[in-house]
Amino acid sequence: MWWSAWDWFYRWNREDGGEIVGAEDCFPTVEDSMMIFYIPYITGTSQEDCELNVLPETLGNGGGLGYCMYLIGVSPNPDIWNDDGNLDSLVDEGILVDKSGDGSYDCGKGKVYRASNPYVYGWAWDYVAMWNGHGDYYYDGVNTGFTKTLNDKHDGVMNEYRDTRNDEFPNGWR
């Protein structure tokens, strides 16, 4: 996976020290995470092998089944935050790829979470978005950039601040 971001964080153990065994163990989340991926890393030869051999042995030995990856400062296509948004653009952009063809069977399902109703601030969001192919770094009056596009979708405590910034700086990032 190649994706421009200014911070990534991995968690291999829960906060209480136990192993990560499912997507629910990725919470509570790392502060300011835009997206969270639960990635299983245990494989077998088939579903039967996983259920009868691999998973019981791994869990019996106190092992984990996956890890959590937190993306902080990443700029996916802002359309995933639309009311009808989905993660298809991550597949289209090659961020999520099919792992088929290596002869192994995943003994778990990966899971992707996105921040709900995010609000972002600062020039770096647009800079990273430029590298990810989601607009230009500079606001030109036509291309609104990642920051403005995402923040226009926001509906929450930052609305008043967002609207004030938009009135004061209509031609720049906010």
Asked if residue 83 and residue 145 are part of one domain, the reply reads no
Q: What is the mean pLDDT of each run of 10 residues along the chain (174 residues)?
A: 66 93 92 87 92 95 94 77 77 70 81 82 71 62 69 80 78 56
In which domain, by residue range, is 13 found?
A: 1-116
Q: What is the pLDDT of residue 3?
A: 58
Total domains in the chain come to 2
Asked if residue 101 and residue 17 are part of one domain, the reply reads yes
How far lies 115's CA from each of 18, 57, 81, 118, 129, in Å?
Answer: 25, 35, 9, 6, 17
Asked if residue 153 and residue 166 are part of one domain, the reply reads yes
The residue behind tokens 């259920």 is 51
Asked if residue 130 and residue 61 are part of one domain, the reply reads no
Q: What is the pLDDT of residue 98?
A: 67
- Whole-angstrom Cα distance, residue 107 to residue 54? 8
Asked if residue 136 and residue 90 are part of one domain, the reply reads no
Asked if residue 129 and residue 85 are part of one domain, the reply reads no
DSSP string, 69-117: EEEEEE---GGGGSTT--SHHHHHTTSS---TTSS-EESS--EEEE-SS
Asked if residue 78 and residue 18 are part of one domain, the reply reads yes
Asked if residue 157 and residue 82 are part of one domain, the reply reads no
Q: What is the pLDDT of residue 1?
A: 47
Asked if residue 105 and residue 33 are part of one domain, the reply reads yes
Amino acid in position 139: Y
pTM summary value: 0.73
